[in-house]
Amino acid sequence: MAETREYKGIALIRAEPPCGMITLRGGPDAAKGLATAGKRLGVKMPGPLGAELKDDRGLLWMSPDEVLMLCPAEDVPDHLDALRGALKGHHAMAVDTSDMRVRFSVSGAHAREVLAKLCPLDLAPDRFGPGHVRRTRLGQVAAAIWMRGDGAFEVICFRSVGQYVLDLLQVAAAPGSEVHLFSQPVG
Amino acid sequence: MLTFRCPVCGVDAEETELSPGGEAHLKRYGPGSSDEDFSGYLFQRENPRGVHFERWRHAYGCGKWFHAARCTQTLEVFGTYPAQTTEPPQEILDTITKKRPGWTWRELGAK
Ligand SMILES: [Zn+2]
């Protein structure tokens, strides 16, 4: 990543430090094993398009047979051991993908607007809020977006396009670029 | 602009979140088939002006394949349905017949 770790325009864009990420895949027959992930983090298993988060850990629904587990990096080996044990004998997998993606946060009054400029999602407050996750397209690349309890958005994308996404977010948050899609102009 | 409801994740996905997968319900002719059948499988496509059935993939979303029935002339979407089928569900055929009386597509059509 470039030296810019934080950028303040109409929203605050921040390159977040690395965290542990574990990709879990498996069909309905592996549901019980996959549920181990929720038990270990103390969160529920997310339903379709759901994000179950608690502080710096949580589970993101990625597709009918895929869940992404977020946790502190140092917890990854223990989680992997436990999950692989629980999934034994099933056509399922638990893989450390911590290095695969990078994570950004977008916060502030115009955070919604910044993201709405870049992806084809309905980001109206009554359509997308905490507890939701969407995989979508951000500019020209794939990304996933969810909202933290504090109202900030988190964005992940593949590491290889991390600089592109950071640049994209910064341009979309350039000072004076408000379009007031979700807010009233002041004055 | 096309918007399909992905039958897998339920999202109303806009066209740029999807990848087109070409014509739906192709029957594969493999080893031992006639040259005519095999070339038909490879090259013969409908290219209609009107009702069409296609495969799409929710590439930037849940990543899954699904089927869609739409009008190539107006971009009206008649419905989407799971990938795991060799023919459109009756409900979708009925919807099309209501909106496009007299439609035909391959061996399908308004009855
Ligand atoms: Zn989908």
The domain spans of chain A are: 6-16+100-172, 20-99
State percent of chain B over pLDDT 70: 100
How confident is chain B (111 residues) per 10-residue block, as mean pLDDT?
Answer: 95 96 94 94 95 98 97 97 96 97 93 71
- pLDDT at position A5 is 85
Q: CATH assignment of A6-16+100-172?
A: 3.30.1360.120
- CATH homologous superfamily for A20-99? Heterotetrameric sarcosine oxidase (3.30.70.1520)
- pLDDT at position A181 is 87
**B8 and A CB contact within 8 Å:** yes
- Picking from B17, B19, B65 by the largest number of A CB atoms within 10 A of its own CB, the best residue to mutate is B17
B72-103 tens-digit pLDDT:
999 999 999 999 999 999 999 999 999 999 99
- pLDDT at position A84 is 97
Which residues of A lie inside 8 Å of B (Cβ-Cβ)?
Answer: 48-49, 62-64, 66, 120, 122, 134-137, 142
The pLDDT-based confidence of A102 (bands split at 50, 70, 90) is: very high
- CATH homologous superfamily for B3-109? Folate-binding superfamily (3.30.2270.10)
**B83 and A CB contact within 8 Å:** no
Q: Is there a contact between B8 and A136 if contact means CB atoms under 8 Å apart?
A: no
Nearest residue of A to residue B11, measured between CA atoms? A49
* Burial environment of residue B3 by CB neighbours within 10 A (0 to 12, 13 to 18, 19 or more): middle
Distance CA A179, CA A10 (A): 10
- Tell me if A6-16+100-172 shares its fold with A20-99: no
* Distance of alpha carbon B66 from the chain centroid: 8
Q: Region A150-156: what's the mean pLDDT?
A: 95
Cβ neighbors of A45 (< 8 A, separation 6 or more) are A34, A35, A37, A38, A52, A59, A67
Q: Is the pLDDT score of A168 beyond 50?
A: yes
